[in-house]
């Protein structure tokens, strides 16, 4: 069991909180594998380069990730007062979400299961030192 008063415990928990600007897209209708192809291309890049990569990437996930990156940039600018020229993509990852299960009729009365996968995509930005 935790020691100390409830408000003290909350204060300590909030002190350890990550203050970097971020954005999260939950229940994106794209699989983790397909999202990671795009995320790997922008990881570690500055935000202007990352936006340019996402603009000309033909994959469907790049349009979702571009909007998410723009949201993270806006969060950094408005909430944290950061300069957009100094920002870069510190972390970006996709976690597995729920899977919608559908049935596809096949020959001779059989039924195949189709799994429509979802993912939770997160982008964390940081300022160059």
- What digits encode the pLDDT tens for the residues 29-69? 999 999 999 999 999 999 999 999 999 999 999 999 999 99
CB 42 within 8 Å of CB 69: yes
pTM of the model: 0.84
pLDDT digits (tens, 9 = 90+) for 107-128: 999 999 999 999 999 999 999 8
Mean pLDDT confidence for 65-84: 93
CATH of 20-127, one of 1.10.760.10, 2.40.50.180, 3.90.470.10, 1.50.10.10: 3.90.470.10
Average pLDDT, the chain: 92
Q: What are the sequence ranges of the domains in the chain?
A: 20-127
Place of tokens 């990730």: 65
Backbone angles phi, psi at 7, to 5 degrees: -70, -35
């Amino acid at each position: 069991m935790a020691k100390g008063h409830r408000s003290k415990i909350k204060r300590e928990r909030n002190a350890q909180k990550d203050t970097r600007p971020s954005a999260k897209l939950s229940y994106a209708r794209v699989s983790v594998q397909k999202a990671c192809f795009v995320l790997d291309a922008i990881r570690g890049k500055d935000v202007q380069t990352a936006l340019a990569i996402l603009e000309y990437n033909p994959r469907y996930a790049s349009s979702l990730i571009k909007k998410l990156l723009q949201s993270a940039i806006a969060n950094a600018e408005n909430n944290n007062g950061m300069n957009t020229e100094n920002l870069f993509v510190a972390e970006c990852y996709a976690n597995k979400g729920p899977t919608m299960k559908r049935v596809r009729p096949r020959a001779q009365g059989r039924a195949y299961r189709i799994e429509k996968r979802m993912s939770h995509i997160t982008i964390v930005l940081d300022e160059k030192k």
